Structures are given as structure tokens and as C-alpha cells.
Amino acid sequence: MLFTTAIFVFLFLPITFAGFFAIASRSHRSAAAWLFLCSLVFYGYWMPEFVTLLLASICGNYLVGNRIGTSTSAGRRDSARRWLIVGVAANLAVLGYFKYSGFLLANINQLAGLGLDIGHVILPIGISFYTFTQIAFLADTYQKGVREYKFVHYGLFVTYFPHLIAGPVLHHAQMMPQFGEAKTYRLNWANVTGGLAIFAVGLFKKVVLADGLSPYADAIFGPADQGLWPTYTEAWLGALAYTLQLYFDFSGYSDMAVGLSWIFNVRLPFNFNSPYKAVNIIEFWRRWHITLSNFLRDYLYIPLGGNRLGRFRRHLNLLVTMLLGGLWHGASWTFVAWGGLHGAYLMINHGYRALVAPTVQKRLDESRLGTVVAWSVTTLAVIVAWVFFRASTFEGAARVLSGLAFLGHEPEGVANPLLWNAGLHAGTGFAWCVPLLIVAALAPNSNQIGTWALLLSRSRENARALMAGAACTTIALLVLLNSARDTVSAFIYFNF
Amino acid sequence: MRVVALFLVGAVAILCLLEATLRMLPGPTATRTGYYFDPVILTYPPNHEWQSASGWDLRNSRRMKSNNYGFATSRQFTKDPTAVALIGDSFVEASSLREDEGLGPQLERHLEGRPVYSMGVPGSSLLDYAERVRFAAERFAIRDFVVILERGDVRQSLCGDANVAAACIDRTTFQPRIEKQAPPTRAKDLLRESVAAQYLLGQLRLDPRRLLDAILASAGPASGKNSADGLAINKVTLNPQVYVEPVFDLFVQRVSKQASGRLILVLDADRRAIYRNMEDGEPMPDDPDRVLLLKLAHERGIDIIDLEPIFASHAAKSKLKLEVSPTDGHWNSVALSLISSAIADRLRKREQTR
């Protein structure tokens, strides 16, 4: 189910909300079970056949987690480690089969000249997110002695509908205490109103901004993958449009998840913090998809040795982490290239920091020109990397990149043929992109707006009622707009 | 009670903000169509100004103004037997394009000074065209007519179709009837003043049934709702073999009385089939409406330009599409250039053979 659809907003959410608080007044555990059940309905609405897989994954990880916990409590670390390896391997095997088997086989076939075929494997939606969430749970159980005795709470932690499909990637420690608190089960109109306001902001980012930009990116990348060369205007517009589309799409989804969760008195971590304000790549990764970056840091980079094994290993670990981070996004070499490019950027960034004296860097940071140059270089590097992320083929990426490098081909008949065929105008496209880039780079972000909305809603009753009316109307209008359009537009990160 | 009042104030504030935003953006404004010059011909009011745009994101916005006879063209209509009347629907009005890119101005450039009266009104039908032919002949003494037909025009002549302006043919008896559009209610008149209402009801075409369908539809993320694009045509249960001939014959009967000079029909092609043919080499399937219409025109001795070979020849040479956009099947300026050239050639050829 999509957060942007009428069925979610007008049917699923009110029923889930009313049921949760009605049941919570009698039994907290039953209310949690209701939310768990509703989350399964939310998931099963699209792919009912994969609810079984999701439930099997939850049960399996719950059992393995308990084994790890029991072994750790009994001082049997070897046994706990064995259970951890079994659990992580099983999770990766399932993820590997559904997400990477076709890719792997295609590569083997190409290398060995074979014709192996396992048929078409459908990717269960959200599998990357719920697998990573549960691997983190197993690792925390092993390392930090985390225990979870209530199956309902564990099931709800994994399936909790605001984050199930596309994150944020949650830590067990962030969620379980909240499911155990009595205040989570008390209707709090201030949180409901604040949550609705944040949801409305996210919905606007998705339905108006991301979906408004999407045609300009699609018009360039689709044909480029099919062999057509964009002009330099088209290449710049396509790359810029995708850069912004992805941000507003995914951060909009994350805002909606955070807002929805507040309605149920559950706080989710922020996933974005104005990434396009970053003035270097290290900062970019502290601001972009924060929960995944933290996951990769805690469960991949640090176990690989992090920065504890010397400069060379640190750079190698960074590169490996980013390559695997790229592969996590999808079974394609273009995602690996995107990850590798960011790994290289990070290595260069760390190398630069080691070379430049802190006093010089401080002076540069304080200079306006230095900041503008640093921001421009960072943003350009990010845009170039997104080309690999968006293109389906290396040839398509190369065509767009050659356009960005002003090596575009002479157009035939009209100034920008790819835009022409999509019925778009470059001027209108840039009129979308330039102001939105300025907003992304300078304006307060939705975390700040959301925090302000929550504070206002909690402190002033009159403002709360006004805000509730405004938020509900905005949500209704945006859902109506979305329903009236010709196509259903899913979130980009649903594919990962 | 105070909480409810404040809630409503919040809701109204958002609606006001939407209204103000759309007034700053090129949001669509009311067209106020009506029967201003003829009891069965729907036009805009004379010298009426409005804003048009397509899609939810207000693409191809254009400031439009009707002429002295309520048609969306800057050319004022006067009595002129040398003029050519160009009759059709939104394909002639071409509100998504700049005026100079439209079919009328392009044809006029080909005809080197001969005035072209663009008489396009969106969403009309074959029998409405016949009424406009009559009107042009009577009011402006025009003798030569070019009628632009898209594939849905015959079906849209059946009474009960939303596109019928007045003249139509009964679905069962195939007898001609008049079915005029109801005048706007007071509520509709009031809503016309609001750009937000225009946007929601006119542009997005919101209606409760559609919303209910959206709630009940179990579409997954990858699937799309069927696009209501300009290439699509309304489905009716009647077999084309049954209604095309009576509609066409009534049209010919009415038009022949008026067109004392030349009458040229221009028939749109199935462009999707042409593109498919270019991409996959799949043979183009025959559209039954088109085939029948061409056959009838030839049998009745009506001059008709079939756009299929013209568009197919273009598609073989060029990758440039002929539609305004993938979701708007109206012709773009490249298509209109091909069509205007073909019409001008045909007009000249006929001139030489006379």
C-alpha cells in the first residue's frame, strides 16, 4: 500500500488508528498485536504471497535471536556466535536468492558462456529493509546482550508499517522501549496533529515536488539507456532533475514515515538532514539516508576494522563498505559503480583532510567563497554519481555523462529531441529544478519544520486545532491530486 | 466547539492558500462556453480571455482569447468567400501550442495569404462539424472547407456522448436529434470564479466515483491506471459497422448542401500502431472505424486525406514524436507542419485540376 493513495489515507489509516487506541484502552499487548496485524495487511495488500515469507523471516529471526540471547546469558559465547552466523547467513541467503540470484547467474553465464536459468524471481517489496533490520537485531543480541521476550513486540518492530517498505532502517534498541511504554498507548492529540503536519510535508514533497520533477529525469535517462544521445541541456536537466527527485521522493517518504509514527506516539529517527547543504562528501553521508549510513558504519565498516588498522585499511574498508552499500540498492553493476564512486570520493576527502593543515582548512571553511566552491564541487560530484544510480546501463550513463561534459550530439530537427518526445520544455524543467535546488541548499528542512510543528502542537491548544484542520485539508487535497493523475507513482526506494 | 471552529479555520486557510497559489501560477480559468451565435453551435463568448494548461502540473499553459465569433483564434472573422474554414475539435484549437504553431496559422503560411478561419471547439463531434460548416457558409460566405477528423469523432456523434454539443444521432433509431448541453447551474457559475475549483474539477476532473474506484482499486506499485490520454477514445458497446455509416451519411448530406467549393476531410492515423511498427516491425492493425470511414468517403466521392502514410513516412525518417506528450495525444507542431503541408498541396492540386 502506498502512503500517497486514497485507500491508505481514507481507509487503512483511520481504521488502524481507531482500532489501536480503542484496543489500547483495555490491553496494550492486544493493541500492539492489532498494529502488527494491520502492518501485515498493509504489506500483504500488494504482495499477499510474500506475507508468508515475511512471517517466516520474523519467526526465524526471533527464534535465532532468543537462542543467541540464551547462549550469551549462559556464558556460552561460542554457541551464541554459531547461532549468529546461522542467522546472518540465512538472512543473506534469502536476500541473495530473491535479490541477487538473477544478477549472479547472468554474470556467471556471461563469464563462462553458459545458459543457466532459474526463471524470473520476483523481488519481495521491502526485503532489503526488513532483512537489514533483523540482521542488526541479531548482531545487537550477540554484541550488546539485547533480549526480546515478547513475540508481538518483535513482530511489530519488524513489520511496523510506517517503516516496513522503505525504512528508516531501525535499531531494536530504538523501538522496543517505545512499544513497552504505557504512554505509547495513550491517545495524544498533540502528537497526532504534529504527526499529521509532518506527514503533510512529506506528502507534498512526494506528490508535488518529486512527481513534478520525475518526467524530466525519465525523459532523458530512459532514451539514453535505449541508445539515444541527449544534448548537453537535456543531460544537465535530466541529471539535476533526478538529483532532486530522488531527494524529495525518499526524504518525503521518510517524513511521512516519521509523521505517521508520531500519530501512534512512536518516534522514528530522522533519515535525512539537508544532504544538499553538504560542503564535502563526508558531510553528505552524515546527512543522506542517515539510518542506512549508520547501519553500514556499525555493521560493516567497523567490523571490517574501521580506521583502527592503519590508513590503507581504512581506505580499503571505506571502499568495500560503499561498494556493498551500492550493491544493497540493487543487483546491477551501475549501483556498484555508484557505490565505488562514493567510496573513491570519501577516500579523496579523507586524503585531502590529511594533507591540508587544520588552520588552512578552518580559514577556507570560514570564507564564503571557500564554502561556495566546496558546496559546488560536492554537489557536482554527487550529481555525477547519481547518473550511475539512475541509468540502467553503463552505456546510458556514458551518454548522459558525455552530455554533462558538453559532448552531446547535434540534435535533429528540434533543439532538444528527447524532451520534445516527452512533451517537455527545457525552460520549464529548469524552472522546476533551480528553485528546488536553492530550497534544498538553503531552506530549513522538514526535520526542523516537523519539530517546530510538534512543539507548537504540544504547547498551544488553539494552534493545534488550526494545524489539524490545515494538515487534514492538505493531506486530502494531495491525495485527491494523486488519485486524479494518470499513473500510480511508487516511491523510488521501494525498488531497493 | 471552539476546537471545531479553529479546525475549520485551518481547513479554509489551506483552501485560500491554494486559491492564491493557483492565481499566481498559470492555473486554468473558466472558458464559459455557450450557444452565443447559433442555437446549436457551442463557442466561447466573443473576445473572452482565459488561461489554459494541461495536466496536474499545468504544462503548456497559454493565455487564450476568443475572436469576434467566439473561436480561439486571433483572426477576426468577416464575410470572405476566399477564406478556408478549418473545422475540428481541440486538434484545431491546439491550446497546448503557441498560436503560430497551430494548424490554422501553419496552413495560412502555406496558402500564402489566403485567410484560414480556425473553427475548432474542444470535445465536439462529426455532426457538430456539419453545423459549423453551415454556419461558416451562411455567415462568412465561405466555400472551401477542411474538416479535421480524429478517430473518435463518429462515435462522439451518438446522442448521450459527453462530447455532443447539440446535433447528434440516436443510438437505436439512428435518427438525427438535438441534445444541447444544460446551462450552468448557479453553483457551477459560482465555482467558475474560483481558480482552485477550476483546477480540482476541470483540470483534475475529480469526482466521487473515481475516488471510490481509487480507494477500492488494488493496484500495485508497478502497475499504472489506464492512461486517459489523447490517443485513447471512449469505448461504446455499439459495433462501429452499425453506426459509422448513418452518422457519416448524415454528415455528408448536411455538408454537401453548404460546401459550394471544396470539402476536404483529414483523417488522423493510429500513431501508436505506427510507432509499434517502426520499433518491432509488427504490422499495423486496421482500426475498424478508420477503415470504414475511408471506405465510405471513397464510395461517396468525398476528398479525404489519410494521415497514416504521411505519419508513417515521417516515423521512418525521424525519431521525433508527433504528439504533444505521451499523455496528450494532440498533434504537436511537427505533426501540424506535415498536415498543413498535405492540406495545402491538396488544395493547390484541386485548384489546378478545376
**Dihedral angle, C-alpha A180, A186, A187, A190, nearest 10 °:** -80
Task: Classify residue A68: in a domain, yes or no.
Answer: yes
Q: Where would I find the beta strands (DSSP E) of B179-336?
A: 263-267, 303-306, 323-325, 328-331
CA distance B200 to B194: 10
One-letter amino acid at B187 equals A
Mark A307-344 as b/e (b = at least 16 C-beta within 10 Å): eeeeeeebbbbbbbbbbbbbbbbbbbbbbbbbbbbbbb
B249–chain A Cβ distance below 8 A for any pair: no
**Active site residue ranges of A:** 329
Domain closes at, from A134, A168, A187? A187
B208–chain A Cβ distance below 8 A for any pair: no
CA distance A274 to A439: 10
A178 and A195 together in one domain: no
CA distance A97 to A107: 15
pLDDT at B261: 85
Other CB atoms within 10 Å distance of the CB of residue A72 = 22
A403 and A461 together in one domain: yes
pLDDT at B221: 45
A315 and A459 together in one domain: yes
Task: Classify residue A360: in a domain, yes or no.
Answer: yes
* Cis peptide leading into residue B183 (ω within 30°): no
Residue B125: CB partners within 8 Å, gap ≥ 6?
B89, B153, B154, B156, B157, B161, B163, B164, B165, B167, B168
A28 and A45 together in one domain: yes
Q: Is the ipTM of this complex over 0.90?
A: no
Task: Classify residue A175: in a domain, yes or no.
Answer: yes
**Band of residue A123 on the pLDDT scale cut at 50, 70, 90:** confident
Domain closes at, from A187, A221, A254? A187
Q: What's the mean pLDDT in B172-194?
A: 86
B6–chain A Cβ distance below 8 A for any pair: yes
* Spatial contact of B120 and B347, defined as CB atoms under 8 Å apart: no
A166 and A202 together in one domain: no
- Please name the residue of chain B whose CA is at the shortest distance from the CA of residue A189: B3
A197 and A163 together in one domain: no
Backbone torsion region of residue B50, taken as left when φ is above 0, otherwise alpha when ψ lies between -120 and 50, otherwise beta: beta
A180 and A203 together in one domain: no
Read off the pLDDT of residues B19-51 as tens digits, 9 standing for 90 and up. Answer: 999 999 888 888 889 999 999 999 999 999 999
pLDDT at B212: 73
Q: Is the pLDDT of residue B222 over 90?
A: no
A275 and A202 together in one domain: yes
Read off the pLDDT of residues A450-489 as tens digits, 9 standing for 90 and up. Answer: 999 999 999 998 999 999 999 999 999 999 898 887 666 6
A43 and A119 together in one domain: yes
**Dihedral angle, C-alpha A167, A169, A171, A177, nearest 10 °:** -10
Task: Classify residue A319: in a domain, yes or no.
Answer: yes
Contact A487 B227 (CB under 8 A): yes
Q: Is the pLDDT of residue A399 over 50?
A: yes
Average pLDDT, chain B: 86
Measuring CA to CA, which residue among A204, A207, A253 is closest to residue A484?
Answer: A207
* Spatial contact of B14 and B21, defined as CB atoms under 8 Å apart: no
CA distance B185 to B353: 53
**Dihedral angle, C-alpha A232, A237, A239, A242, nearest 10 °:** -160
A412 and A481 together in one domain: yes
**Band of residue B229 on the pLDDT scale cut at 50, 70, 90:** very low
| Residue B230 with chain A: CB contacts under 8 Å | none
**Band of residue B352 on the pLDDT scale cut at 50, 70, 90:** low
CA distance A138 to A231: 50
Q: How many domains does chain A have?
A: 2
* Spatial contact of B116 and B110, defined as CB atoms under 8 Å apart: no
Domain closes at, from A187, A206, A240? A187
pTM beyond 0.95: the answer is no
Read off the pLDDT of residues B301-349 as tens digits, 9 standing for 90 and up. Answer: 999 999 999 999 999 888 899 999 988 889 999 999 999 999 999 998 7
A410 and A354 together in one domain: yes
CA distance A429 to A132: 37
Task: Classify residue A152: in a domain, yes or no.
Answer: yes
Q: Is the pLDDT of residue B263 over 80?
A: yes
Burial (CB < 10 A; 0-12, 13-18, 19+), residue B214, is buried
pLDDT at A113: 82
pLDDT at B236: 46
| Residue A412 with chain B: CB contacts under 8 Å | 318-320
A169 and A200 together in one domain: no
Note down the domain range covering A299.
191-495
- Please name the residue of chain A whose CA is at the shortest distance from the CA of residue B201: A484
pLDDT at B224: 35
Task: Classify residue A1: in a domain, yes or no.
Answer: no
Q: Where would I find the beta strands (DSSP E) of A34-162?
A: none
